[in-house]
């Protein structure tokens, strides 16, 4: 016997909502007009809200369609299953019991129900009942590179475009591996390519996708670590024309990049990895991580303090070339200069451009090596 409802949950609100929407649209593709489709917002902050949602949902699943055909109801964004004041309250538990009773009475031949819930406490008996009684799916934000690549390729196929392996790696580097941002950017790039489709290339990604999160998103940072003093000073001038108080952001970005470069340079000098024409080989990187990763702790979140948490394409193709230009001694000296520059910014807050220019000249005056 088919399940009387479809239940979606997971650790990423966007992906949970997206999976539930796809399911709802597939189920309701043959619905006769909007009268047979109903979406109910399940997000509630207090008992009164939850009771109102429950009333609307119960009415939707128990009322036949205007034309007597099958109805399709999506209870979207249910948040009563979370470890919150509402979720823990007696009133919240009563509402969940009533929801369960309503779901048990549904005739799947007359109504199709989709429920998306985020966040949830999967230890709760109500959550376990929903997962076991319905056609359930736990949607997890992809963290494994292969899983992310598969998700991106599937999205591209749906949109009528293609993407190369190098393109996926470039996109990962741009958005820090954030699955939601990757899908949003793929949709944007597919729209740019147009109805005839085409291929999403690394060059297209580098031109059209901005850097997100902690990253070297200032031109002066890119110019600095190219060891090209002329370009670097021009970039500083352009940046401060628009951001006269941008000294600290540039300094923070320089610091993040330099931390990674120091770690990369140490691994290169130890012979653990090398930077080739296509970046760093995955085999070398995995072997280095197995040997040295224990010294960085077990943190999984992306951090410039741990080179092994970084995206491999980003390290090899964005950071790696600079590691070949600067020695470990020079990178250490740059680190000390960054500390001094921070003190200078504090003492000369109205001369931020001058302070940063002086830093660049001190570090790159002898060609940065």
CATH number at residue 224: 1.20.272
Q: At 367, phi and psi to the nearest 5? A: 75, 15
250: in domain = yes
**Are 248 and 153 contained in the same domain?**
no
Mean pLDDT by groups of 10 residues along the chain of 369 residues: 82 86 89 81 91 93 74 92 88 92 89 92 90 87 69 90 84 74 90 91 82 57 89 86 84 91 91 85 88 74 79 81 91 95 92 94 75
The pLDDT value recorded for residue 144 is 61
66: in domain = yes
The pLDDT value recorded for residue 214 is 43
Q: Under a CB-based contact definition with an 8 Å cutoff, are residues 190 and 200 in contact?
A: yes
**Are 31 and 109 contained in the same domain?**
yes
The pLDDT value recorded for residue 36 is 84
**Are 63 and 112 contained in the same domain?**
yes
The pLDDT value recorded for residue 217 is 47
Spatial separation of the C-alpha atoms in residues 95 and 75, rounded to whole Å: 14
Sheet of strand 37-41, all strands in order from the earlier edge strand to the far edge: 37-41, 71-78, 111-117, 5-10, 135-139
The pLDDT value recorded for residue 178 is 74
103: in domain = yes
**Are 226 and 314 contained in the same domain?**
yes
User: Both tokens of residue 96?
Assistant: 């969940």
**Are 155 and 39 contained in the same domain?**
no
Let me know the angle formed at the C-alpha of 268 by 264 and 273, rounded to the nearest 5 degrees.
95
> Domain range spanning residue 223?
219-364
User: Structural domain tally of the chain?
Assistant: 3
CATH number at residue 118: 3.40.50.300
**Are 360 and 224 contained in the same domain?**
yes
CATH number at residue 190: 1.10.8.60
Q: Which residues of 30-68 are buried (b: 16+ CB within 10 A; e: fewer)?
A: ebeeeebbbebebebeebebbeebbebbeebbeeebeee
Spatial separation of the C-alpha atoms in residues 304 and 214, rounded to whole Å: 9
Which of residues 139, 157, 192 is at a domain's end? 139
316: in domain = yes
DSSP code, position 246: -
Spatial separation of the C-alpha atoms in residues 272 and 264, rounded to whole Å: 10
Which of residues 158, 176, 208 is at a domain's end? 208
The pLDDT value recorded for residue 215 is 42
pTM over 0.75: no
The pLDDT value recorded for residue 199 is 92
**Are 360 and 278 contained in the same domain?**
yes
């Amino acid at each position: 016997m088919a399940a009387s409802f479809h239940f979606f949950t997971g650790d990423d609100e966007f992906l949970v909502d997206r999976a539930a929407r796809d399911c709802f649209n597939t189920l309701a593709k043959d619905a006769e007009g909007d009268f047979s489709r109903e979406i109910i917002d399940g997000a509630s902050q207090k008992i009164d809200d939850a009771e109102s949602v429950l009333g609307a949902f119960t009415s939707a699943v128990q009322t036949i369609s205007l034309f007597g055909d099958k109805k399709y109801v999506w209870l979207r964004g249910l948040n009563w299953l979370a470890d919150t004041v509402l979720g823990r309250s007696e009133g919240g538990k009563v509402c969940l019991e009533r929801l369960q009773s309503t779901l048990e009475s549904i005739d799947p031949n007359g109504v199709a129900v989709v429920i998306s819930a985020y966040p949830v406490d999967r230890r709760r008996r109500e959550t376990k009942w929903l997962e076991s009684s319905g056609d359930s799916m736990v949607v997890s934000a992809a963290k494994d590179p292969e899983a992310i690549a598969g998700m991106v390729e599937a999205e591209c196929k749906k949109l009528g475009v293609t993407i190369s392996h190098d393109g996926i790696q470039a996109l990962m580097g741009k958005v820090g591996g954030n699955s939601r941002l990757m899908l949003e950017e793929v949709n944007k790039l597919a729209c740019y390519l147009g109805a005839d489709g085409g291929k999403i290339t690394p060059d297209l990604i580098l031109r059209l996708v901005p850097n997100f999160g902690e990253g070297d998103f200032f031109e002066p940072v890119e110019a600095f670590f190219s060891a090209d003093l002329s370009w670097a000073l021009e970039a500083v001038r352009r940046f401060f024309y628009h951001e006269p108080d941008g000294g600290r952001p540039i300094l923070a970005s320089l610091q993040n990049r330099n931390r990674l470069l120091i770690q990369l340079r140490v691994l290169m000098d130890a012979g653990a990895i090398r930077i080739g024409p296509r970046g760093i080989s995955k085999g070398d990187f995995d072997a280095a991580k197995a040997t040295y990763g224990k010294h960085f702790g077990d943190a999984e979140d992306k951090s410039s303090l741990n080179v092994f948490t970084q995206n491999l394409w980003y390290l090899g193709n964005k950071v790696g070339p600079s590691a070949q230009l600067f020695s470990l001694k020079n990178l250490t000296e740059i680190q000390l200069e960054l500390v001094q520059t921070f003190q200078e910014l504090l003492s000369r807050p109205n001369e931020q451009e001058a302070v940063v220019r002086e830093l660049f000249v001190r570090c790159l005056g002898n060609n940065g090596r």
